[in-house]
Amino acid sequence: MAKTKSTTKPKTGKQKLAASAPSAPNIDIGITQGDRKKIADGLARFQADAFTLYLKTHNFHWNVTGSMFNSLHTMFETQYTEQWAALDDVAERIRALGFNAPGSYREFAALTSIVEEPGLTDSADWREMVRQLVVANEAVCRTAREVLDVADDADDAPTEDLMTQRLQTHEKYAWMLRSLLQ
């Protein structure tokens, strides 16, 4: 009888258990890489503004005092709760475009257009809180419009829709808050 050659290799501890998974295909959603980058950069600036506004609104919810306490405490809570949920939509859109969303205080501080103002920790007047929130909501609106223009140029309907929704919300917040000061 002839010896048959064994096809089993000796175990070395470094055997491949399975073939490696194929890499993810390139993003091909009908928007060029360059346009996706411009949109994602704009959305990152928008997210930084929106997060800064969220944090400011939450801070004022915690620290509001005075004759308008109950009304403003409730209003601020409603606004920051809605803003928090919207941040996730923006981050997910950035990811869908193929880029990482900003997510640290340092990144937000570098990207935001909202000027940091004092936290108003020494018995702040509610009117100053409301004024700051009007200014910050309007800043968010301006950034949303910039992103909307870039998305429109790239025919990016999902980003256009997202920015339109955010514009509607922040314009309404600015109007409601401004009305308290008139």
CATH number at residue 134: 1.20.1260.10
The answer to whether position 17 is within a domain reads: no
> Domains in the chain: how many in total?
1
The answer to whether position 21 is within a domain reads: no
The answer to whether position 120 is within a domain reads: yes
Range of the domain at 148: 31-178
Q: Which of 18, 49, 170 is nearest to 112 (CA)?
A: 49
The answer to whether position 76 is within a domain reads: yes
The answer to whether position 45 is within a domain reads: yes
CA 151 – CA 160 distance, rounded (Å): 6
Residue located via tokens 């290799």: 9
Specify the 3-state DSSP secondary structure of 58.
helix
The answer to whether position 8 is within a domain reads: no
Q: What is the pTM of this model?
A: 0.84
Handedness of CA 44, 171, 158, 153 (dihedral sign): negative
The answer to whether position 26 is within a domain reads: no
The answer to whether position 13 is within a domain reads: no
CA 81 – CA 61 distance, rounded (Å): 11
Helix axes 157-181, 69-96, angle to 10 degrees: 160
Specify the 3-state DSSP secondary structure of 1.
coil
**Tens digit of each residue's pLDDT, the chain (182 residues):** 555 555 555 555 555 555 666 787 788 788 999 999 999 999 999 999 999 999 999 999 999 988 899 999 999 999 999 999 999 999 999 999 999 999 999 999 999 999 887 655 565 789 999 999 999 999 999 999 999 999 999 999 999 999 999 999 999 999 999 999 99
